[in-house]
Amino acid sequence: QVQLQESGPGLVKPSQTLSLTCTVSGGSISSGSYYWSWIRQPAGKGLEWIGRIYTSGSTNYNPSLKSRVTISVDTSKNQFSLKLSSVTAADTAVYYCARDVYDILTGYYLDYWGQGTLVTVSS
């Protein structure tokens, strides 16, 4: 069974860069035709997709965050990472990583999720 685990600082200062890593276990991040996504959720609010990466390094980002987001992958460590620059209090949220599946008949969906990690932006 695939498992994902987010890690990184829980507190980031305004204007700095938020950095998180997702470690995948139970299977190789390079096996199969999967993207790997980041999603966030402010307290009491809905889900916002941040972006994703394929193991080739190809990325897609949410247009609303694109100027501040970088997602990378390290296949040797079975990890992918998120960097979000110039953070403000509005970036305070629980950040999730997830496996991103595509099927020609059923489209894209997120089948395995990490437990999430709370990142607070505050001085």
Which amino acid makes up residue 105?
L
Q: Which residues bind other proteins (CB under 8 A)?
A: 37, 39, 46-49, 60, 62-63, 96, 101, 103, 105-111, 113-116
Among 75, 65, 58, which Cα is nearest to 95's? 65
- The C-alpha atoms of residue 112 and residue 2 are separated, in whole angstroms, by 7
Q: What minimum distance in Å lies between the beta carbon of 122 and other proteins?
A: 21
Q: What minimum distance in Å lies between the beta carbon of 16 and other proteins?
A: 26
For other proteins, the closer of residues 16 and 94 by Cβ is 94
For other proteins, the closer of residues 14 and 109 by Cβ is 109
Measured CA distances, 11 to 39, 41, 120 (Å): 18, 16, 5
Q: Look up residue 85 and give its two tokens.
A: 């620059």
For other proteins, the closer of residues 67 and 106 by Cβ is 106
Q: What minimum distance in Å lies between the beta carbon of 15 and other proteins?
A: 26
